A = this chain, B = another copy of it.
Amino acid sequence: MEHRLEALEKKVRFLEDRLAIYQLVATYGPAVDGLNGESLGRMWTEDGTYSPGGFDPYVGNAAVAELINTSAHRSYAERGCAHVMSMPHVVVDGDTAVATNVSRVYVKDGDQWRVDRASANRWELVRNEERWQVRNRTNRLLDGSEEPRQLLRAHLSATD
> Chain A: residues with CB nearer than 8 A to chain B?
1-2, 4-5, 8-9, 11-12, 15-16, 18-19, 22-23, 25-27, 29-31, 33-36, 38-39, 42-43, 77-82, 84-90, 100-102, 104, 106, 108, 111-118, 120, 141-145, 148-154, 156-157, 159-160
Contact = CB atoms under 8 A, between A and B. Distances in A.
Most buried by B among A27, A35, A112, A113: A113
Given A5-B4, A12-B8, A86-B29, A115 B112 contact: yes
B115 A42 contact: no
A117 to B, nearest CB: 8
A142 B1 CA distance: 51
A1 B4 contact: no
Nearest to A153: B34
Given A106-B118, A108-B143, A26 B88 contact: yes
A141 B90 CA distance: 28
A111 B113 CA distance: 14
A46 to B, nearest CB: 15
Nearest to A156: B39
20 contacts: A1-B5, A15-B16, A25-B87, A27-B156, A29-B101, A30-B153, A33-B102, A33-B149, A34-B151, A34-B152, A34-B153, A39-B153, A78-B144, A79-B144, A80-B144, A80-B148, A81-B118, A104-B113, A113-B117, A113-B142
A113 B108 contact: no
Given A82-B120, A104-B113, A108-B144, 13 more contacts: A8-B12, A23-B90, A26-B86, A30-B156, A33-B102, A34-B151, A39-B156, A39-B157, A78-B144, A82-B104, A106-B142, A108-B142, A113-B118
